[in-house]
Structure 1
Amino acid sequence: MSENYQSLAKKIVQYLGGQENITDAYHCQTRLRFKVKDEKRIDEGELEALDGVAKYINNAGVHQVVIGTHVKDVYEEVTKLVSLQSSGTSEPGEKKGPAAAVIDFVAGTFQPIIPALSGAGMVKAVLALLIVFDVITADSQTYYMLNLFADGVFFFLPMILAFTVAQKLRCNPILAASVAAMMMHPNWGALVTAGEPVHFFGVIPFTLANYTGSVIPILIVIFFQSYVEKFLNKVIPKSVELVFVPMLTFLIMGTLAFSLFGPIGSILGGYLATFFTFLSVHASWVPAVLIGGFLPIMVMFGLHNGIAPLGVMQMAELGYDSIFGPGALVSNIAQATAVAVVALRTKEKKTKQLAVSGAITAYMGITEPALYGINLPKKYPLVAAMIGGASGGLYAGLTNTHRFATGSSGLPAVLLYIGDDTMRYFWNIIIALVIAAVVSAVVTYVLSFKYETKVTIDVPDMKAVVLEDTLLINPVPGTVMPMNQVKDDAFASEALGKGFAVDEPIGEVIAPFDGKVAAVFPTKHAIGLVSDTGIELLIHVGLDTVELNGQYFDALVEAEQKVTKGQRLLTFDVQQIKAAGYVTQVPIIVTNTPQYTAVELVKEGLVAKEEEVLVVKV
């Protein structure tokens, strides 16, 4: 499948300055991340304009290219084009501030286990549905085994986390998982259940704590194990390290895990559970409102990676998540709805296509294409989505809605809210989603009347410009008249576009707006302009004056030159042109008339230069 993205990968590498400019590349769930030698070689405009690229972001020297859910396929093609230092999904070491380092550590630890948690969560959702619809009973063997399928991940969560923590800290993940296995051994569980004090060598007390399904203890244990293991690898001779490093790691970390770090983590986990319980009872609305309203901002700065694991921790401690899940779900649905409204309201074809695809993926839980492709650039749908997300989050929080398993925050995730032998939380999250969708849709729709008066188009040899309502000043002083009075059927019929004409002109042409010279005809009798607001204008001096081959004309500008309103562009000798037998009427045509709803003359008769004479409406 990745072969379908060969062309996109090649262009991304090209606009990043070529393969020789890229020093490293890796990816997360939706973005390619690059490091380069020379940032000046990056063509940001071309990169962001690529079909398949939702957004380009430069964050602290890491160049992020937002792709979407198929980022892995694009990454596979990128790896064929560049020489990489890292392994793909793990970010190479770099200097970070304390807050950034903590977020990076937490994100790097929990992101790899998301697929397992999502899969287990959906199995639990299926199990809940089977119970609700009386397909199976809670005392059946089928229920017992399906519950086992789902609970395996959560039961052995410390071992899975130990592996990912070790990968992040660059120590041996197998040794880390083995230390976690000690802490989850059934014999240790039997000692905890018996409740009799345990003293190692009769001296060192081992605190009786159950580590099954826990999070904090294993994070602390493996963090310190990474230093112990690196020290042992440094001091033990290479010839015997294969035997003695694992042995000493087990002896040292086993002792420290049961006597010091495990108990500390268990205490901290208890405090965390108390905090979660306090929030659920006294301020249940706060997390859902904050996450529901500000998740898009958190995503932009990567802060969500440090907050999302709180939901996993809460679930490990209490069996449910009300910290992150509900707010994330209503936020994503609000964003999806906002971008869907943009798709209905926008007049620009490419934006409509991007909005439709962004809405679909956002409804499924991946919001980066919608966020970076539509909502952030346009701003107003982002504001609407934040208002809608906060509104839905408020309802979810006030009703203490929570999910019973983790998973992606898209529409399928509503099944995760079935649990505790009740459908109450399921119906609450549905109501919260309806509130989020309705509020964001209404706000987006209302704001669109102000902000969707513009249409983005592509002009040959120019970057995208924006169409908007514009008043043109008179570019040729003289007598302004309707186009149908021009003594040439091609112009008078408006077959070339709507506009007006100037009779008895004074011999100069000025720029009627700020913009760019699209073309100066070799015979200098006509000039094409494109305004900064998207108007394509042809100013044609005289009828059939092409036959003069430039005689009596003097062009003061050239193609591709920027011009400002009122700047002289062209001069011509009216008397000499008349004497040569040519009509000196000057048709002024909006050549992209079909892209506008109206092109209307607002003043006729003798009009001086720089007076407003034509309105073009989107």
Structure 2
Amino acid sequence: MAKNKINYEELGGIILPYIVGKENIHKLTHCATRLRFELKNRDIVDVDSIKAIDGVIDVVEGGGQFQIIIGMNVQTVYKSLNRVLGVSNDSVNTSSSEKPAKKSLLERFMNTISTIFTPMIPAITGAGMIKAILAILVLTKAIDTNGHTYYILNMISDAAFYFLPMLLAYGAALKFECNPILSITLAGVLLHPSWIALVNGNEAASLFAIKLTLVDYSGSVLPIIITVWIQSFIEKYADKYSPEMIKFFTKPLITILLTGILALLFIGPLGSKLNDIVASFANILNDKVSWLIPLLMGALQPVMLLTGTAWSLTPIATMQIAKNGYEQVNGPGMLASNIAQGGATLAVALKAKDKELKQLAASTGFTALLGITEPSLFGVTVKLKTPLIAAMIGGGVGGIYAGLSGLVRYAFVSPGLTALPVFIGENPMNIVHAIITCVISFAVGFIVSFFITKIE
């Protein structure tokens, strides 16, 4: 039976009672397709009732989060939830003395990654698309790279990546439950022009007679995350031991001064070294076995979405884009996976005799080709099983080609047909390899799904 038209503006109010209200929510964020809850008590949630709500694609748990999959209308539902909860933040935090249940190490890691990186995605997506448009204009000779127009537009597109520590500081503050304005201020310390002047100078520098390691932190990832983590402890102690009458200035004074000094002396250099180690390891894999990571990402991306581990390589991809202007660990394999998912689902649409299944597979298959795969994954391929296998095979084969051809992604955008411009860059063959990856992934996913899927 066909469902009624969904009112996403009201969906938040419908979902909330089954979560057992605001009192059971520790944190709430969202990504491109999901509401991501950290709950105080998962056991009291009525999962079956949530799954039965029109507009909810599915419910999954992963990375220590309770995730409700909505699809492309998730932001509308998130805003409606905020209205019902009476908050207006980009991340809802209803922390109290009651904390969520303890999670495994993997769950804590994935939860940390998603909470820190989710808020910055719109900024680097927008900046990345500007870079893609600029690349097209340069390729078609519609803009002069020596002119002021290109110079200024390129500056606008670079801002999010240069000031990446500031964006990460905000997400890290949400995760570690400290003042985000102070966190952003500390990121500003690492990026201050006076510090950059020291880095670019020829003289050694010291602080309290301790030699400083002069590092350029623009575009870095780990230094600010570790800094904000340390800030969270210093801020708590400053709050606890500052006299009430002067706390309003002693708390930020102590937090900024102590954390800032520690960041410049110890935390920043340590984080920068870890940053370089992680980046070097990824580069070694790309040099020695260039097909391996795209193969794994292409084949296993659906499983990673199901288990909530899809964010695992985001920090490395972000480091690569900020440092090199492109990344190889996430985008190429994701492109293969998304297109294969679309092909496998559209094969179901072609074979299905049931009208509702045919319509569902056609619409969600097309959406997957555009880069949003959850509707097809949870609505069709997981339920029928064999199309999921076909999508994984198609994604793996496409991923092998992407890796062997040296395909790179120049901007942090969910890969799909409409996002192909993010594969346009200095190497004119890169977009050709992206298109061939799409053709291979779609063809293999579609053909395998068509022949192995049996629909009752």
* Same topology, TM > 0.5: yes
The answer to whether structure 1 residue 150 and structure 2 residue 157 are counterparts is yes
Distance 1:373 1:90, change over 3 A: farther
Moved more, 185-194 or 124-133: 185-194
Q: Which amino acid in structure 2 is aligned with residue 195 of structure 1?
A: N
Partner of 1:137: 144
Matched to 1:151, the amino acid is D
Kindly provide the CA deviation profile for residues 312-358 of structure 1, in whole angstroms up to 9, marking residues without a partner as x: 12222333200011111111111112111111211122222222221
Counterparts of 2:23 and 2:256, CA distance in 1: 41
- Alignment of 1:315 with 2:321, yes or no, is yes
Describe how 1:73-472 pairs up with structure 2 within 5 A: 73-78=76-81, 93-94=99-100, 95-201=102-208, 203-420=209-426, 422-448=427-453, 451-452=454-455, 454=456
Q: 1:96: Cα distance to partner?
A: 1.2
How far off is 1:392 after superposition? 0.6
Find the aligned partners of 2:265 and 2:225 in 1 and give their Cα distance: 15
The one-letter amino acid of 1:73's match is T
Partner of 1:55: 58
Contact 1:276 1:314 in 2 (8 A): no
Equivalent residues, number: 445
Q: 1:324 to 1:89 in 2, by over 3 A?
A: farther
The residue aligned with 1:588 is none
1:22–1:37 Cα contact (<8 Å) kept: no
The Cα shift of 1:101 comes to 0.8
Distance 1:76 1:419, change over 3 A: closer
1:73 deviates by 2.1
Inter-partner Cα distance in structure 2 for 1:10 and 1:370: 25
94-103 or 268-277: bigger deviation: 268-277
Q: Which has the higher contact order (CA 8 A, sep 6+)?
A: 2
TM-score by length of structure 2 reads 0.90
Q: Is the 8 A contact 1:21 1:38 kept in 2?
A: no
Distance 1:158 1:9, change over 3 A: closer
- Greater displacement, 348-357 / 160-169: 348-357
| CA gap 1:435/1:8 in 2 versus in 1, 3 angstroms | same
Offset at 1:47?
4.7
Distance 1:136 1:41 in 2: 55
CA displacement at 1:254 relative to structure 2: 2.0
Q: Secondary structure at the match of 2:211?
A: strand
Partner Cα distance (1:385, 1:4) in 2: 31
The letter for the 2-side match of 1:28 is: H
For 2:93 and 2:43, the matched residues in 1 are separated by 22
1:341/1:90 Cα in 2 relative to 1: closer, same or farther (>3 Å)?
A: farther
Equivalent residue runs for 1:501-520 within 5 Å: none
In the TM superposition, what whole-angstrom CA distance separates every residue of 1:45-98 from its partner, at most 9, and x where no partner exists? x65454423223466996543221112323444556678999855696522111
CA–CA distance in structure 1, aligned partners of residues 330 and 369 of structure 2: 17
| Structure 1 position 6, deviation (Å) | 5.7
Other structure's SS at 2:245 match: coil
- Per-residue CA deviations over 1:19-46 (Å, capped at 9, x if unaligned) read 66983384523234565979588372x6
SS across alignment from 2:7: helix
Distance 2:258 2:11 in 1: 51
Task: Please give the per-residue CA displacement for 1:182-225, whole angstroms capped at 9, x wherever unaligned.
Answer: 11111111111112111113x11111111111112111111111
Q: Equivalents in 1 of 2:281, 2:65: separation in Å?
A: 36
Give me the whole-angstrom Cα distance separating, in 2, the residues matched to 1:20 and 1:318.
Answer: 45
Pair 1:42-2:46 in alignment: yes
CA RMSD of aligned residues (A): 2.8
| Distance in 1 of aligned mates of 2:270 and 2:47 | 51
Query: 1:27 touches 1:71 (CA, 8 Å); kept in 2?
Result: no
Contact 1:287 1:327 in 2 (8 A): yes
Structure 1: where are the runs of 5+ without partners? 455-618
Report which of the two has the higher share of helix: 2
Find 1:68's aligned residue among 65, 68, 71: 71
CA positional deviation for 1:178: 0.9
Deviations 1:585-609 (A, max 9, x none): xxxxxxxxxxxxxxxxxxxxxxxxx
Are the equivalent residues in 1 in contact too, given 2:60–2:306 (CA < 8 A)? no
Gaps of 5+ in 2: none
Structure 1 residue 427: deviation in Å? 0.8
The two structures have a TM-score, normalised by structure 1, of 0.67
SS at 1:239's partner residue? helix
1:326 and 1:393 in contact (8 A); partners too: yes
Report Cα offsets for 1:228-274 as digits up to 9, x if no partner. Answer: 11111111112112212222222212221111111111111222232
CA distance in 2 between partners of 1:112 and 1:131 (Å): 30
Tell me by how many angstroms 1:138 deviates. Answer: 1.2
Alignment counterpart, residue 34 of structure 2, candidates 17, 31, 40: 31
Work out the CA distance in 2 between the residues paired with 1:178 and 1:12: 37
Does the CA contact (< 8 Å) of 1:334 and 1:437 recur in 2?
yes
Contact 1:417 1:426 in 2 (8 A): yes
Distance 1:253 1:32, change over 3 A: closer
Secondary structure of 2:24 counterpart = strand
Residue 429 (structure 1) shift = 1.1
Q: Secondary structure at the match of 1:403?
A: coil
- Cα distance between partner residues in 2 of 1:382 and 1:303: 17
2:417 & 2:321 partners in 1: Cα distance? 20
SS of aligned partner of 1:393: helix
Letter in 1 for 2:150: Y
Alpha carbons 1:331, 1:386 under 8 Å: kept: yes
Deviations along 1:153-200, one digit per CA (max 9) or x if unpaired, are: 011111111122112111111111111111111111111111211111
Q: Distance in 2 between matches of 1:375 and 1:185?
A: 50
Q: 1:340 to 1:198 in 2, by over 3 A?
A: same
Does the CA contact (< 8 Å) of 1:225 and 1:253 recur in 2? yes
| CA deviation after TM superposition for structure 1 residue 280, in Å | 2.0
Give the number of the structure whose residues are more often strand, by fraction.
Answer: 1
Q: Could you tell me whether the CA contact under 8 Å between 2:30 and 2:78 is conserved in 1?
A: no
Letter aligned with residue 158 of structure 2: D
Query: What is the identity, as a one-letter code, of the residue corresponding to 1:265?
Result: G
Question: Quick check: 1:21–1:36 contact (8 Å CA) kept in 2?
Answer: no
Determine if contact 1:335/1:367 at 8 Å carries over to the other structure: yes
